[in-house]
Amino acid sequence: MKRTLLLATVATVVAGSAIAQDNVVNVYNWSDYIAEDTIEKFEAATGIKVVYDVFDSNEVLEAKMLTGSSGYDVVVPTSDFLQRQIAAGAYQPLDKSKLPNLANMDADLMAGAAVYDADNEYATIYMWGTTGIGYNVGAIAERLGEDYEVNSWDLVFNPEIVSKLADCGVTMLDAPTEILPAAMNYLGLDPRSTNKADFEAGAALLESVRPHVRYFHSSQYINDLANGDVCVSVGWSGDVFQALYRAEESENGVEIGYVIPDEGALQWFDMLAIPVDAPHSDNAHTFINFIMDAQITADITNYVWYANGNAASMPMVDPEITSDPGIFPTEAASAKLWSSKVYDARTDRVVTRLWTKVKTGQ
């Protein structure tokens, strides 16, 4: 009798600890993309432990999603990459009965995201933004004159102009599906074109300015801009604002600006999705639902300076953010934004080959 009880107790303890060990959610998000207390709040509210890992490139995330068995429960692909990965069977449909906070989402923005994921079946919007130009106000004035207005892709694509900035550091995202279309757009070509000749023209332009580019990297520029170590970065809206904020905080005298150039820029959505083989799908839904809480999303936007797709969060978002045209573009600027094109395998190979050539000169 005693022995049976003891065994039962041991069995309960073992089962309990297995549950406790398994009560986790493995999240793979972009770097510098969450408020400092979001994870802590989620763990306190749900008792679920978050294992949090970061990346700074859609290509890196895509390789993991297409290989499978990543172990991640929640990932954050950009909408065009999401569409391709959905087609490859990489994600599971969301169980919307577990996501009551979907009601908080902005219907128009979700409709925009549905272009890549019909009926928002597999994903919901995390944050959105633009790919524009971050710059050091003082360094540009020193080299191009006090009256030079930063409002054009000339700053990075016109060899005569960018050559004058090489000494203070020009950087570009290591994001071929964003930089090549921006170069094509500058040349007057359709940034959504999948015509090989258009990519080649964009790549030729990039090769002509390549000697003046210090590096291609998608996260290092935040600190480098903030510290004054580089002076121009083709970068993501919120990241540049984070650099601006870090510089202000450190009172180092560096003044940062962000511009959506007059010729237009890419607008993108980053999406919360659950891999098809996520080990903790229930916890993934709990995490996504928590993120869609209005206050939690507002806190994230207030910390990372990215626009979000959560209509209910807007009253809690800092007016300094909602009123900034670099974060919430004006109607005139919005009219010139383009959205990502989803590339097929052939186009992808063209882009990858040209990008390698641009970066390495081979």
Binding piece for ligand SPD, criterion CB under 6 A, among 24-32, 87-95, 295-303, 350-358: 24-32
d(CA 216, CA 81): 20
Binding piece for ligand SPD, criterion CB under 6 A, among 29-37, 180-188, 291-299, 326-334: 29-37
**Residue 33 interacting with ligand SPD (CB under 6 A):** yes
Q: What letters, b where the CB count within 10 A reaches 16 and e where it falls short, cover 179-197?
A: bbbbbbbbeebebebbeee
Nearer to ligand SPD, 161 or 180 (CB): 180
**Residue 236 interacting with ligand SPD (CB under 6 A):** yes
**Residue 237 interacting with ligand SPD (CB under 6 A):** no
Beta strands 24-30 and 49-55 are parallel
Nearer to ligand SPD, 212 or 303 (CB): 303
From the list 221, 268, 290, 343, which residue makes contact with ligand SPD (rule: CB under 6 A)?
A: 268
Give, as one character, the DSSP assignment of residue 72: -
From the list 26, 27, 28, 30, which residue makes contact with ligand SPD (rule: CB under 6 A)?
A: 30
Nearer to ligand SPD, 31 or 322 (CB): 31
Nearer to ligand SPD, 165 or 303 (CB): 303
β-pair partners for 235: 132
From the list 62, 154, 174, 178, which residue makes contact with ligand SPD (rule: CB under 6 A)?
A: 178
Tokens representing 275 are 């891999």
Alpha-carbon distances of 98 from 10, 285, 295, rounded to whole Å: 34, 6, 19
**Residue 174 interacting with ligand SPD (CB under 6 A):** no
d(CA 80, CA 198): 20
**Residue 78 interacting with ligand SPD (CB under 6 A):** yes
3-state helix vs strand vs coil in the chain, percent to 5? 50, 15, 30
Beta strands 123-136 and 307-308 are antiparallel
**Residue 32 interacting with ligand SPD (CB under 6 A):** yes
C-alpha neighbours within 13 Å on the C-beta side of residue 195: 9
Nearer to ligand SPD, 224 or 270 (CB): 270
**Residue 290 interacting with ligand SPD (CB under 6 A):** no
Neighbours of 239 (CB within 10 A): 27
Binding piece for ligand SPD, criterion CB under 6 A, among 26-34, 137-145, 224-232, 254-262: 26-34
Q: Which residues bind ligand SPD (CB under 6 A)?
A: 30-33, 78, 178, 236, 239, 268, 270
